[in-house]
Structure 1
Amino acid sequence: MSSSTNAILIGIAISDIISAFYYFKKGIHDLQITGLDKCESAASYKIALVNWVMAAFTDCFRRSSSWLCLLLVVMRTIVVNKVLDKKFYFLSDAKFGWKLTIMTIFISSLLTIAYVFRYQIEDVGDIQCGGTYVDLFWIVEIGDYSKLGKIARHLHLFLTGIFSKVIPSFLFPVFAIILTSELRRTSRLRGGVSVGSEKTTKLVIYMTIMTIVIEFPIGICKILRGLLHDNTAITVSTLNIESIFDMIYVPLTATHFFLCFAMSSQYRNTVKRTFEFSDKNVKVTTLN
């Protein structure tokens, strides 16, 4: 039987996979660049547009993943605490989990609009590449040309750091501690620790550590860059720090799906039903 928890976990996994695409593509492109050659750093209009859209998707779904992780812990805490209260039974329903996931992604996409309008595609002009002239483009920040755009960029950086990174990093351990305590209390009342409770506790601890280790430093960097935007040293150093944590972020978030898939049989069943996998065609191997 599926539950809201598994629905949210699937939302987290999908968000992590989508948000990682851009970093993967960007990493490959960066490895191919050997210098400041515009033929390497610029691209055709279509490719520049695709990069812009992919960056917007990354902004939206990375924030969605952080929020969904936090909502998962908050919801599990309420469900465990109010397990005998029928008024809260709807929180365990899979439909509620899907609605909450879709609503979270929708709200995150509204904030992404501000991110999109921070940039524009600029025509570099006809550049000689490989013996032929091609019209190339690249993505630039509007703030480089407009005072109002610069203010909007710094405000967006500051708000993103606060609401998408720092606040979740503070709330996550608080609710994680409460949830872990509630699970242990419930297990003691039942006369033993259930396997499901142990797995849930481990998953919550993993998500908490990952959020604090990666998202919190990035949030601080964005806040500093938003407030001290005239300080070149701060801007360069914070961008470098963010790049380092982004490289750690991709492989770690990629494990979300596989970790949840291995730990929860209900999660596996929900995935199979969601994507209409047949039991005859799917072989599941669990980790011991």
Structure 2
Amino acid sequence: MVSYIAPPDWYNEAYFIFNYVICVLQFFGFGINLIHFSILTRPHMRSNSIYRLMIGICSCDLLTQVNTFLIFSPFWIRDSSIKEEQCYMTLTYFDAFLHLHGTTVLDITQRGASWMALFMALYRTLSVMFPLNPRIQKLSKPVFAVWTILGVLVFTSLTTWMVQARRIIKPYDWDYDCDKNEIHLNETRYGVLVPNEFSAIQSKLVSTYGFIKALPSLIDPILTFFLILELRRASKRRKNCGKCSEDRTDNTTKLVMFVTISFFLLEVPNGLSHVVNGFFYDNVPVRTISVMVPVFAEILPVVNSSSHFFICILMSTQYRETAKNLFRRAVGRHGKITFVEECNSTKTHNSVKKEPVFVKVT
């Protein structure tokens, strides 16, 4: 139970304000990602493997937004009227359930999006470096993107289960008040913890899991470097051929590069906190800091996922045209009235008389 020291006085107030900020941002982020998802799922967009992988990333981002909202919004979906409860280390069963299973799903979706972005950059780098290799070019097939998404979700689910499987929800009838005095609780509350018999193996697994979390962000700079080199080579080739216009494949490469950069700092704080938590398992102050850091780092996935829509708008002509057509269809659904002239012939003078007819076009 007492595996962490009490946080400093400023932490609770900062955490409370942070909850407000992140929940407001999630509303905007969720709406932006819904628009982003509706554009990516158009038939001609789904025929591109890059955009199929981005559909997988966007789906994970939407689930991340929902889970983050549920876990970090106690003032909307939880009873926080009792001030004393803010000092408790224990939780209600609903909060404990969300903390255990909600963070499990959150880890799967966050890691999944990072690994999908990594494979998207890897496939793009290989395809532009080896354009004549038939095996490499198979990676750009849309069906291969689907298998990549499924493989990533299986991998992230197994690695997350590796760490979360030993955590349990334990009931408590005591806690500490705001003066750090042990008190008896009138009703049973709960805590999420790892039993003592699994503490040694858990510390090693947490360290390994932290490295797996940080791995995509560590590989991203390498892939970004190769993508930048490939863009420069393509620019030189166009100059040698006397072409001034930019190739569309370069735009796609830039799109992948910017999406990869957006994931660069996403996993570093969370991953390193797990590594520190595992290596300094007996150092209570260090473990406390390692737990506090990723709490505030949860704002990074919200900002990162919301940026993908704007990156695609700026970098992809096909995405912009699809967005414009989707907007025009949404506006055109209201319908409009136009004038159509109908020609009728008369029997007396064999002349043609034009009469206006109102037609509603929907």
Give the TM interval when normalised to the shorter protein.
Answer: 0.7 to 0.9
1:213 matched to which residue of 2?
Answer: 265
**Farther off after superposition, 229-238 or 50-59:** 50-59
How far residue 282 of structure 1 moved from its aligned partner, in angstroms, is: 8.5
Check whether the contact 1:42–1:138 (CA below 8 A) recurs between aligned residues.
yes
2:124 matched to which residue of 1?
Answer: 76
How far residue 121 of structure 1 moved from its aligned partner, in angstroms, is: 2.1
Check whether the contact 2:224–2:260 (CA below 8 A) recurs between aligned residues.
no
CA distance in 1 between partners of 2:157 and 2:140 (Å): 26
1:174-253 equivalences under 5 Å are 174-190=222-238, 191-192=243-244, 193-194=246-247, 197-198=250-251, 200-201=253-254, 203-208=256-261, 210-253=262-305
CA distance in 2 between partners of 1:169 and 1:278 (Å): 35
The one-letter code matched in structure 2 to 1:10 is: I
Higher helix share: 1
How far residue 231 of structure 1 moved from its aligned partner, in angstroms, is: 0.9
1:160 matched to which residue of 2?
Answer: 209
Check whether the contact 2:170–2:190 (CA below 8 A) recurs between aligned residues.
yes
1:61 and 2:114 aligned:
no
1:37-60 deviation line (CA, Å, top 9, x unaligned): 289963346x64455332211111
Check whether the contact 2:70–2:98 (CA below 8 A) recurs between aligned residues.
no
User: Considering only aligned residues, what root-mean-square deviation do their CA atoms show, in Å?
Assistant: 3.5
1:172-222 deviation line (CA, Å, top 9, x unaligned): 1111110121133124323343355246425523532x4333322332222
1:286 matched to which residue of 2?
Answer: none
1:62-97 deviation line (CA, Å, top 9, x unaligned): 111111111111110011112233333311111111
Q: Secondary structure at the match of 1:61?
A: helix
How far residue 100 of structure 1 moved from its aligned partner, in angstroms, is: 0.7
Higher strand share: 2
Q: Secondary structure at the match of 1:105?
A: helix
2:171 matched to which residue of 1?
Answer: 123
CA distance in 1 between partners of 2:160 and 2:273 (Å): 19
1:254 matched to which residue of 2?
Answer: 306
CA distance in 2 between partners of 1:26 and 1:95 (Å): 35
The one-letter code matched in structure 1 to 2:108 is: C
Check whether the contact 2:209–2:274 (CA below 8 A) recurs between aligned residues.
yes
Check whether the contact 1:13–1:257 (CA below 8 A) recurs between aligned residues.
no
Residues 260 and 241 (structure 1), Cα distance of their counterparts in 2 relative to 1, 3 Å cut: same
CA distance in 1 between partners of 2:309 and 2:187 (Å): 41
The one-letter code matched in structure 2 to 1:175 is: L
CA distance in 2 between partners of 1:5 and 1:69 (Å): 10
CA distance in 1 between partners of 2:142 and 2:233 (Å): 25
Check whether the contact 1:119–1:139 (CA below 8 A) recurs between aligned residues.
no
**Number of equivalences:** 267
The one-letter code matched in structure 2 to 1:155 is: K
Residues 113 and 267 (structure 1), Cα distance of their counterparts in 2 relative to 1, 3 Å cut: farther
1:6 and 2:51 aligned:
yes
1:87 to 110, 127, 135: 135
The one-letter code matched in structure 1 to 2:299 is: M
CA distance in 2 between partners of 1:189 and 1:225 (Å): 50
Gaps of 5+ in 1: 127-132, 272-276, 284-288
How far residue 168 of structure 1 moved from its aligned partner, in angstroms, is: 2.0
Q: Secondary structure at the match of 1:37?
A: helix
The one-letter code matched in structure 1 to 2:284 is: T
2:151 matched to which residue of 1?
Answer: 103
Asked which structure has the greater CA Rg, the reply is 2
Residues 203 and 30 (structure 1), Cα distance of their counterparts in 2 relative to 1, 3 Å cut: farther
Check whether the contact 1:18–1:58 (CA below 8 A) recurs between aligned residues.
yes
2:219 matched to which residue of 1?
Answer: 171
1:20 and 2:72 aligned:
no
CA distance in 1 between partners of 2:145 and 2:322 (Å): 12
CA distance in 1 between partners of 2:168 and 2:97 (Å): 9
Check whether the contact 1:261–1:267 (CA below 8 A) recurs between aligned residues.
yes
Residues 54 and 90 (structure 1), Cα distance of their counterparts in 2 relative to 1, 3 Å cut: same
CA distance in 2 between partners of 1:57 and 1:269 (Å): 34
**Farther off after superposition, 246-255 or 63-72:** 246-255
The one-letter code matched in structure 2 to 1:204 is: M
Q: Secondary structure at the match of 2:168?
A: strand
Q: Secondary structure at the match of 1:122?
A: strand
Q: Secondary structure at the match of 1:214?
A: coil
**Farther off after superposition, 262-271 or 251-260:** 262-271
